[in-house]
Chain A
Amino acid sequence: MANDSPISLTVELGPLRLKNPVMVASGTFGYGQEYAELVPPERLGAMVVKGISLEPRSGNPPPRIWETCGGMLNAIGLQNVGLRAFVEEKLPWLNPLPVPVIVNLFGNTVEEYGKLAAALDGQEGIAGLEINISCPNVKAGGMIFGSDPKMVFQVVSAVRSRTNLPVITKLTPNVTDITVTARAAQDAGTDILSLINTVAGMAVDAQTRQPRLANVVGGLSGPAIKPIALRMVWQVVQVSTVPVIGLGGIVSVEDALEFLIVGAKAIQVGTANFINPGVTLEIIDGLEDYLRQRNLEDINEIIGTLEVP
C-alpha cells in the first residue's frame, strides 16, 4: 500500500461516511475483539457486530453448521449476550475504536425493535443501526418479518421513529421480489439498505436419514450465494433512492468489485473472514491497486458503472 497515493476509497452512504467501502458482516466477526489481533479494526470501513436482542438468547442446540459445496449452512439461532451485557461489556471496548461501529439488532415483535433502537440511540460509540428483519415475528405465528412488505414497513418505522442514528435495513433474499421489500423499507425511512442475508437451505445425512442441522433448516452463506446476491443488489439498485450495501459470498477483491460495479456503495464480508481472516485487508489494498492500475483516483468512479451491452 503506497501512502503517498492520492487514491480515495471514501464512500458516502447517506448520513454515513466511510473511509473505505469494506465492512465486516454481522455474526461473522463477533464483537470485533475476536479478530483484533489479526485485523486492526481501524483499517475497516465499518464493523457490524453480532445481532443483539433485548434479552440474552441461548441459541439453537448443536450441530449448528454444515459445510456445503462452496458454502456453509448455519442455524445459530440468534444466540447473543443481550442489550444490557452488550452495553456494559462490549461497547466500552468498541467505543474508543476509530472505526464506525454498526449495531445489528432484531426482535420478536415490532415493539421490541423499537425499544432496542431507543435504548441504543443514547449510547456513545455507535455509528448506526442495522435492522435484521430475517427473524420470526412471534405475534404473527413465526412468519419472517422480512418476507412481508407490511411487516418490513412496521419494523423499520418503529426503529426510525426511535433513533437519530443512521438506519440500515438488511433484506432477506427469501422473497419472490426483493424490490418490494426494499421499497417498503425505503418508504418507512431507512437511510441505507444492505443485502443479502443468508439463503434458506437444508442438508441431510443419507446414512442416518437425519438433518445435518439440529434446527433442520438453516441459512446458506459463502461463495455459493454470490450470484444470487449480485442479481438482487442489481435489482434493488435500480429502484432504490437510498444507498445499497452489497454482501453475500464475497471472498476476494474481484468479488467486491463486482458488487461495486453493479451499484453497491459499500460491501460487507461475512463467511470469508473464517476462511481467511486477513481477507478484508486484502480487499482494501486490492481496491487501491485496481484503481491505480487504471489511473483512477476515486472508488466512486467505479461504483454503478455496469456496462450492459
Chain B
Amino acid sequence: MLLRNAKILFNNPVSLELYHMALVCPDIAATIQPGQFLMVRIQDRLDPLLRRPFAVHRLYPNDPPGSFEMLYKVVGRGTQLLSNMLAGDSVNLLGPLGRGFRLPEEKGSVLMVAGGIGIAPLPYLAETIAASGCKGPSVLWFGGKNSADLVCVQHFNDLGFTVQLVTEDGSEGRKGLVTGHLEQWLTQQNELPGVIYSCGPYPMQRSVAEMAARLGISSQLSMEALMGCGVGACLSCSLRCRPPEGTQEPHYANVCQDGPVFDGEEIVWDESSS
C-alpha cells in the first residue's frame, strides 16, 4: 500500500458524463492488479472530505513508463471536481487496495459482463488475460442506458473479444437489460464459459450471480460500497456475505479488503438494495 502524488497527463471527456484520466505513478503502476482500486484524494482540501475509490481502467507500462488510465463517470461533487482538473495537476493516491480478479484457467473461455461505468476495471483485466496466454474465446456483454455509455468497445475488439451491446433505449445494439439478453444467449451456447467476470449496478450483479449459479459457472463480481478508509480500518464498506464456518449471522465482509471482487456464491443478496 502506497501513498503517492500522481501527475495528470490528460483528463479528457469521452462522452457527456464519462472521462478518461491518465496518471503517472510508476510504483503503483508496477504492482496494481486488475480489479484492485485506488482511493483518490481529489484535492488538497477538506471538500469533499473523503477519498473516492476508482479502478484502474488501462495500464500503459511504457507510454510514458508507469502510467495508467482511469475511466470515471461524473455522478456527484467529487467526480465533478475531478472532471475540472487539468493536465499537469496532481491527485493523491492511496493504493493498490483490495483483492482483484483471479485469472482464468489457460484454455477456458471468458465471459465479461459490464453495466454502464462497470466497464471501468474490465479492459485492464482483458489485457492481462490476453497477455497471460489464455487462448479460449472471449465475449463481452456490455449494457448501458444509451449508446453514449458504450465506450472502449473497439479496444475489446482489438483484444479478440466478441462484443454484444445492449442499451435500455435501444439506441445501440439490442434493446433492454443486459442480463435479460445474456441469459437467453447463454442457454443457446454449446459450450458455457469457464468464468464470468462482472461489474455493474447491484441488481445487475445479482442477476449475473444467480444466472451463473443456475448454470454452474463460477462468477467473480466487482462490488461497490460507500467507503471511508479503503484499507479495512473503518468497517463502513460492508457487504452481506455467507458467514465463514462457526461465525455469527449476519456476516458483513469489507468490500475494500475482502473484495472488491467477490465470488458470486459468497454474497447474500438483499432484495431491497439497489
Contacts and interface: CB of A to CB of B under 8 A. Distances in A.
Interface of A: 27-30, 34-35, 37-38, 50, 56, 58-59, 61-67, 69-72, 74, 76, 79, 222-223, 251, 271, 273-278
B235 interface: yes
Interface string B246-263: 011111100000000000
Contact of A61 (B94, B228, B230, B240): B240
B222 interface: no
B233 interface: yes
17 contacts: A27-B234, A28-B233, A37-B1, A58-B249, A59-B235, A61-B270, A64-B237, A65-B236, A74-B234, A79-B235, A251-B46, A274-B51, A274-B228, A274-B230, A274-B233, A274-B234, A276-B41
B228 A277 contact: no
Contacts of A222: 49
Most chain A beta carbons < 10 A, residue from B227, B229, B240, B249:
B229
A61 B250 contact: yes
B1 A38 contact: yes
A28 B239 contact: no
A20 to B, nearest CB: 21
B248 A274 contact: no
Given A59-B238, A62-B238, A275 B252 contact: no
| Interface residue range, chain B | 20 to 34
Given A71-B49, A278-B3, A62 B233 contact: no
B160 interface: no
Contacts of B236: 62, 64-65, 74, 76
Nearest to B249: A58
Contact of B226 (A66, A69, A79): A66
B50 interface: yes
Given A29-B233, A275-B50, 14 more contacts: A27-B235, A30-B234, A35-B231, A37-B1, A61-B240, A62-B225, A64-B237, A65-B234, A69-B47, A72-B49, A79-B235, A273-B229, A274-B229, A275-B51
Taking chain B's interface residues, is the majority helix, strand, or loop, or is none over half, making it mixed? loop
Contact of A59 (B46, B225, B232, B252): B252
Contacts, number: 102
Contact of B48 (A61, A63, A67): A67
A70 B47 contact: yes
Contacts of B240: 61-62
Given A30-B232, A62-B239, A223 B46 contact: yes
Contact of A72 (B50, B235, B237, B247): B50
A10 to B, nearest CB: 27
A307 to B, nearest CB: 28
A27 B229 CA distance: 11
Given A56-B247, A62-B226, A277-B3, A79 B234 contact: no
Contacts of B47: 69-70
A102 to B, nearest CB: 16
B59 to A, nearest CB: 22
Nearest to A276: B41
A35 B48 contact: no
Contacts of A276: 41
Given A38-B3, A56-B247, A65-B228, A273 B50 contact: no
